[in-house]
Amino acid sequence: MADTSFDLVVIGAGPGGYHAAIRGAQLGLSVAVVEKDDGTGIGGLGGVCLNWGCIPSKSLLKNAELVSHMKNADEWGFSFDNFEADMGKAVDRSRKVSDRLTKGIGFLLKKNKIQLFQGKATLKSSTQVEIEGGETLTGKNIVIATGARARSLPGLEIDGESIITSRNALELRDQPKAIAIVGASAIGCEFAYYFNAYGTEVRMFEVLDHLVPKEDEEVSKELERQFGKQGISFALGAKVGSVVKKGKQLVVSYEEGGEQKEFTCDKVLLGVGVQPNTDGIGLEEVGVATSEAGFIEVDGFMRTNVGGVYAVGDVNGKLALAHVAFDQGVVAAEMAAGHETQPIEDYMSMPRCTYCNPQIASIGLTEAEAREQGIDVKIGKVPFAVAGKSVAIGDSDGFAKVITDADTGEVVGAHVIGPEATELIAEIGMLKYLEGTNLELHKLTHAHPTLSEAIKEAGASVTGEAIHF
């Protein structure tokens, strides 16, 4: 009979959960993971990220990038007849990618001697977890990592057929002729690029004044310019009122600029945020405190108000990004093991990425936020074309922008829109971690030709020393 008593019981095998489990095992704890899904629903080993989120969507976006290149094949010296792009095969490839990585998580759990239990978990006390239809596990410490799911809007209830989520879109093998995307943050923009690349008519709806409304305003305006060139339409400051079926199509009614308008499409994709998976897992019975929106309240060490119970990842609502969950899981496990660790309190210094084309990456404050905080800002901004490689690879649109404190030179924010922005932001993340200034960005020798030269030149531009701009 399998052991039922552990030093650490982790509920959920997503990014935060499996990181907590593996780090706990590394520190000598006996660890169990309870995962309710076998990979066919919304979770499974690796969670939404590996199965139905970050990873498969990036696979599809790579396909979209290749399709976009093929549309302009003449520019690259290619010619062919009867080119076809099969969305179904792109989906098949993305599922293979997810399957490979999910199996990798399974291997890591076995390697670290972590016991995996299948089934829905419910807290019975601060030390007991009941598995539906199975055993009750005892844990000296419990980590809740149950994640979150897509949120509906009043009058726009998700049904998985007409009104869909990104989860449904990831296995949509039949290409819609037209799609409405409600919400213009990362998920909405990524799928807008994907569907548009395959020739689907795309219209985006955002209630705020810009696409990616939480990004620096200059980034939002640049994305709007580039999306417009790609043929993606969008309604800003728009409120969607209803979606009505007319035959086989859907009619989206919305208000824009005081006018009532309509858009006819085949699918409506909602990308308007998430709600935590905290219902039905026993939080009330155990007394774990949650916010009004249902997210579990934690401190910087991921501790809940109940001793020995931690919460990591999307379920605590701090910042719903997989890499944030990674770090939170490690902190929770180290606390459970009595290992010295540092709290996570500065979420503004976490990188934020959007993987459409152009890619967007940011860290720290926007220019508006910095000014609102009374910081005397100095800004360095250069177009990507300063990096010769961007021109050579045919991808020179966009810019790199560095925001510094004029008094100290400290980099308080950075915003990149253009080729491989999501890779380039790591350099500025390290700079902020080491409390560096634009001087380090400027003086550090960057290899030539690389895209990273745009970051160097942005740092130099703060003091008017950029050579190529």
Alpha-carbon distance 172 to 59, whole Å?
14
Is the CB of residue 309 less than 8 Å from the CB of residue 142? yes
According to DSSP, the residues that pair with 400 across neighbouring strands are: 382, 416
Q: Residue 377: which of 350, 417, 410 has the closest Cα?
A: 410
What does the alpha-carbon distance between residue 45 and residue 318 come to, in Å, rounded to a whole number? 22
Structure tokens at 406: 């004029």
Give every CB contact of residue 177 below 8 A, 6+ residues apart in sequence: 200, 201, 265, 266
Contact yes or no for 343/299 (Cβ under 8 A): yes
CA distance 251 to 245: 6
CB atoms under 10 Å from CB of 341, counted, come to 17
Helix (H) or strand (E) holding 276: strand 274-276
CA distances from 89 to 63, 92, 171, 191, 355 (A): 10, 5, 10, 17, 21
**3-class state of residue 193 by DSSP:** helix
Residues forming a β-bridge with 353: 361
Instruction: Quote the CA–CA distance of 337 and 184 in Å, as a whole number.
Output: 41
Our separate counts of H helices and E strands in the chain read 14, 22
- 237 burial (CB, 10 Å; 0-12 / 13-18 / 19+) is middle
Q: For residues 18 and 32, is the Cβ–Cβ distance under 8 A?
A: no
- The catalytic residue among 69, 323, 415, 448 is 448
Q: What are phi and psi of 231, to 5 degrees?
A: 95, 10
Q: Which residues have C-beta within 8 Å of that of residue 34, sequence separation ≥ 6?
A: 9, 10, 11, 12, 117, 118, 119, 121, 129, 131, 137
448 is catalytic: yes
Cβ atoms of residues 364 and 424 within 8 Å: no
Active site residues: 448
